[in-house]
Chain A
Amino acid sequence: MGGRAGERGKPHTPPSPPPLSLTLESELRSSRPRKGGGNDTEPSASSADTPTVVVAKQNNALQIYALDDLAARSGLEIGLPLANARAICPELTVFDADPVADAKTLGDIADWCDRFTPLVALDPPHGLYLDITGCAHLFGGERALLQTLCGALTRRGFVVSADIAGTSVCARTMTRHASGKIIADGEEADAVGPLPVSALGADSAITSGLRRAGLKTIGDVAARARHEITARFGAGFTTLLEHALGQGDAPISPRKPLPDYIVEKRFPEPVATDTVIAMNLSALAGMLVSAMDKQGKGARRLEASFFRTDGAVRTITVDTGRPVTKPVVIDRLFRERLDALNDPLDPGFGFDLIRLSASRTEIVVQQQRDLDANVHDNDELAALIDRIAARIGGKRVVVHLPQDTHIPERAVLAVSAQHHLAAATEAAWPDRIASEPPLRPLRLFERPEPINVPFASVPDGPPHQFTWRRVTHAVVRVEGPERIAMEWWKQNGEVLTRDYFRIEDAEGLRFWIYRDGLYEGELKSDAEGEPVLPKWFVHGLFA
């Protein structure tokens, strides 16, 4: 199965196709302490007969944050202080809430939901939206998709409530009270009408205000004139109400941007061996390239997602310096990346879905081959850079651009070779002065290293000897000073002028050292009236 995703529109309901929204409630079990392992799918540890609650500290008191059915039946409710709960129900099992783990679990479930649609949005703390426009038929229709999704999550021990509706707000409102409903277009108002106002999810002041006004259900509120509601509860609430009634919709914000091209392969029998995975990845690369080729595109960023049968999803991203149009290249890049992973791909019980997507693409400019192999060479270099970057990371392969500044450490900018190779090969470097010995050192320390200079012959002169890294060097030859003033217009605060000296010691080693600050003017006296001695640094080494 493959092809472009994200086409909107469904044949049978032409005017406004219901972008499915789905909300998932998984409150209790996701908050439970984890039992080792990093799986998002914790099995439902049916802790037998004792009611279970999760507590969190709110307003300086431990209050119930989530609870299970048994606890609800004993008369506990969310927000009740733990002390009261214990009084009502002494044999309570209590867990601490862990919002970070909750958020991670929700993220993991969202990853898993990527198998249904690329547009998955988070609705924290417990909800997810899935835009299933144009995707439902791939899973046998909306009803079947809903069943598949709820069934899979329930089997993993989550309490799920999911609904499909034309607007996201309507679907979310429905999930607060019913699961498994599919609201057709235009029936939103009828569906949400009988629900209590709390289902809207407005803040508690509004909900209690509505109740006090005698408006118990959403239908009651909808029956009142809009301007009355707006005057009493604000425009935000009116908008929410209208969205819930299917009049207009708030857009959802998917977690990831929609990739330009997606191809995927589902396996009836999970695959686990490296060779089969690699083989399928190459086949997918071929499909992806043929899809891109039709529109003259090449991939700049590729993502391979491996969906494990137990729900874990691993996504591996590869960036390229220039648009890739060959399956062989894609194949090789992923092989490099997979080889170099610190935590290798763990198939567990196997992958049941492998997806390859091109999340960034570019139009490929076909280049005429030169008779000399120049273009070819550049292509090969770019391919090599891509391979190395896939292995050790794009930031570790750099080219250099000259900068227009006199400050030695800023004169060169190291930039990612993948993105700036062309700019670097055409950069204009300052010409060296012919028949002069090198003016700049071959090796430059990122931070100049302090050296110990006992005295200089004249105040602004070079030292006779200095100690660097616990070795004393006697100065034999000196050239300088070369005075480099700092860029005062860029920096705030006091910056000192540097006097650089090129120095050769008795052994023949050559250094580039500098004195930080001028005697006259920049180096002031300290509190006792003693003159401040300048600091000396070695900044580089000459060949």
Chain B
Amino acid sequence: MTGARMSTLASLRGRIERIEAGADTHALHKVALGHAEADATLCGGLARAAVHEVFAEGHQGAAATGFIAGLAGRVTSRRPLVWVRQDFSEIESGALSMSGLAELGLDPRLLVTVRAADADAALRTAADALACDALGAVVLEVWGEPRQLDLVASRKLTLAAQASGVTALLLRLAATPQPSTAETRWIVRAAHSPPSAPWHAWGAPVFDAELVRNRHGPVGRWIMEWKCDECLFSEPAANPQPVAATPAHRPHQAAAATTLRRAG
């Protein structure tokens, strides 16, 4: 290859990079998920003001919901969350339960649910909500593969998210991944609880999350555990339930420590 062609290619690449950087003014704002490897792969975490897709098979709906609720919990940071869902999705995989959401460590007070009749209304509502910069995130839950949700619709959502700085999270149940303008795309399955004695009950939610698309980096597959108390993802604990709880408060030891320090 000649030097001239190389330099042309290089200059074109530079231009494309500049165009992309110009479009993503919010792209710098990233939120760490908590899972070290995943964060490293995503160069710091999940990008705000972008579209992220989570795919799952129909019977894995609850796991995918848990995963996307976790993502929403990470990116919203005490701002309202709008959850748009299709009627059919509720019949198939159950309604989002506020008690369950509270158990995951999220705040039901910040959630507004929109019950859209069909994919058309859901898509339209999500686009509307994305334009409102008071929100933390918008979750769009769609069942199956409606033809309205094509590349154009996905591009519109991306532009709306970039303009307002609101993160769009698409929960696609019973759908196979298709080309779109999403920043990241995940396939989520439920994972086993970590191995332990069978009489141990299971612990925190565990996901088998596969990153199948990442616009600005490599992909990967990890087992992630959602820590309900800290509200972040992590590597699965070796022991799902602590053998002995760590003491929260030991006044006599603390007193001893201060005396020592004073003496020293």
**Chain A interfacial positions (CB closer than 8 Å to B):** 376-378, 380-381, 383-385, 387-388, 391-392, 396-400, 402, 408, 411-412, 414, 417, 421, 424-427, 429-430, 432, 434-435, 437-446, 469, 471, 476-479, 502, 504, 507-510, 540-543
Contacts and interface: CB of A to CB of B under 8 A. Distances in A.
Tell me what chain B mostly uses at the interface: helix, strand, loop, or mixed: mixed
B238 to A, nearest CB: 16
Contacts of B228: 432, 437-438
A381 B80 contact: yes
A170 B134 CA distance: 60
Sorted from nearest, which 6 A-B pairs have the closest CB atoms? A543-B66, A541-B62, A443-B94, A479-B201, A438-B103, A442-B100
B115 A439 contact: no
Given A435-B245, A444-B94, 17 more contacts: A384-B134, A387-B128, A396-B114, A397-B113, A414-B113, A426-B109, A427-B109, A437-B201, A437-B228, A442-B65, A442-B104, A502-B202, A508-B193, A508-B208, A509-B59, A540-B100, A543-B104
Most buried by A among B61, B98, B204, B206: B98
Nearest to B105: A432
Task: Give the secondary structure class of A's interface.
Answer: mixed
Given A478-B201, A507-B190, A543-B67, A385 B112 contact: yes
Contacts of A424: 109
A384 B108 contact: no
Interface string B83-100: 000000010011111111
B199 to A, nearest CB: 9
B264 to A, nearest CB: 34
Contacts of A385: 112
Nearest to B226: A543
Which of under 10, 10 to 19, 20 to 34, or 35 or more describes the interface residues of B? 35 or more
Interface in B126-152: 128-129, 132-135
Contact of A391 (B67, B125, B198, B204): B125
Contacts of B93: 443, 541
16 contacts: A384-B134, A396-B114, A399-B113, A400-B108, A411-B99, A412-B99, A412-B108, A440-B97, A444-B100, A446-B94, A446-B95, A471-B59, A508-B189, A508-B190, A510-B190, A541-B93
Nearest to B245: A435
B66 A442 contact: yes
Interface stretch (B2-10, B12-20, B42-50, B116-124): B116-124
B61 to A, nearest CB: 7
Contacts of B61: 443, 541
